[in-house]
Amino acid sequence: MLRLTFARTAAVARAASHARTSGITPRVALQQVRYESSKTPEERKKLLEVRDDLQRDWDAKVITYEELKPKTLQPSPDAYLIDVREPDEVVQGSIPSAVNLPLSVLPNALHFSPEEFKEKFGFEKPRKDQELTFYCRSGKRSTTAADVAKRNGYTNILNYTGSWLEWTEREGKGSKSA
């Protein structure tokens, strides 16, 4: 028992010494020693890959103005163009065929029943495999919305990062939604 305690103390001391020279706090170094001590190198590598996948930001496929424009001219019932700006921003105009689902309510809205969703937002709740293209004013909120959709099980997600600013620049002025 004493030998085991001494061995752990020595490992902690080595980790703390390494931590001081590498800028890692001793507490974090201790956690790393404990985490890695009972795993084989292959197990550690697999666990680190899983952790990295969970921590990595997910990015939706980016759609360009040229790819989006035809979709607005001939909208499909199987694809939604979702404006995640707040209603007071949408009053300034929106991309033709877009529906408004503000980012502030998106996470909860995706958990509504189809009936409740349609009553609240005025359009059918998207299916998990339905194409969803998100846009906002400048591309930041649309990226967040794509991430929220992904985390809620949606699989066919696009992000128009040019968003409203690029659309109005290319179109010449704001256009009212159809």
126: number of Cβ within 10 Å? 22
Calculate the CA 97 to chain-centre distance: 24
- Contact predicate 123/71, CB 8 Å: no
DSSP state of 41: H
Determine the Cα–Cα distance for residues 24 and 6; give it in Å rounded to an integer. Answer: 23
Catalytic (active site) residue 71 = no
Active-site residue (options: 63, 110, 136, 145): 136
Dihedral (CA of 135, 137, 140, 141) sign: negative
- Contact predicate 104/132, CB 8 Å: no
Annotated catalytic residues are 136
